[in-house]
Structure 1
């Protein structure tokens, strides 16, 4: 098993775009639930709500798990202009972790390879 597969990807998906993206990755992943507690390094993939805001489920999860956060990625729609992937930008600044990548909707082959390379660089 290579290092990319070992690092955990934590995500939440409102419209299904991130879930479809996760299904394309060959990486360990877990969807956020109210009971989820992590005790290992992870990378977060998030969507944005409203005008580039962090979803409540992500905020609540990070309140008690942010110490293991190693990087963040965002999924969004470029039609939102300056608010595109705003949640990922906020999380990156708030927790002082790298913003690894932004991708549109459920991503494409380039996004998958880009994320695997970024995650490998963290390990």
Structure 2
């Protein structure tokens, strides 16, 4: 199983590392993690993967007056690169529930733009329950 992710504050990195260890221990499935950042060399993807993306937006309320993606654009560009998005099995979003409609909005926008499913969400660094729930979703999606 392969996970592409972008982590700005470290929350997403922490979550996917714990998720990979959990999946290995519970399901005996090896997870390859690939962090995308502004210095990443873009490569063609040839195998299926999942995308994990936090939400960072500039201005607006995410409903009727703006929701410009900031800081995570490199992931969008990577998915667009040579149509890498074709191999994405789905996106998992994270954010802060205090931001109401903007919670996980970046992941939802990716799902709409690239036509892959929005599979799950978690808040900030996620909980043990999030690890269990999201690992089950990923395992089911690769079956």
TM-score normalised by structure 2 residue count: 0.76
Please give the alpha-carbon distance, in whole angstroms, between the structure 1 residues aligned to 2:12 and 2:42: 18
Post-superposition Cα deviations, 1:36-66, rounded to whole Å, max 9, x if no partner, equal 4222100000011215536211111111211
SS at match of 2:85: helix
Larger Rg computed on CA atoms:
2
- Contiguous gaps of at least 5 residues in structure 2: 22-30, 59-66
Deviates most, 13-22 or 51-60: 51-60
- Contiguous gaps of at least 5 residues in structure 1: 1-6
SS at match of 1:13: coil
Runs of 4+ deviating beyond 6 Å: none
The aligned counterpart of 1:10 is 4
Structure 1 residue 113, shift from structure 2 partner: 1.1
Count of matched residue positions in the alignment of Structure 1 and Structure 2:
117
TM-score normalised by structure 1 residue count: 0.87
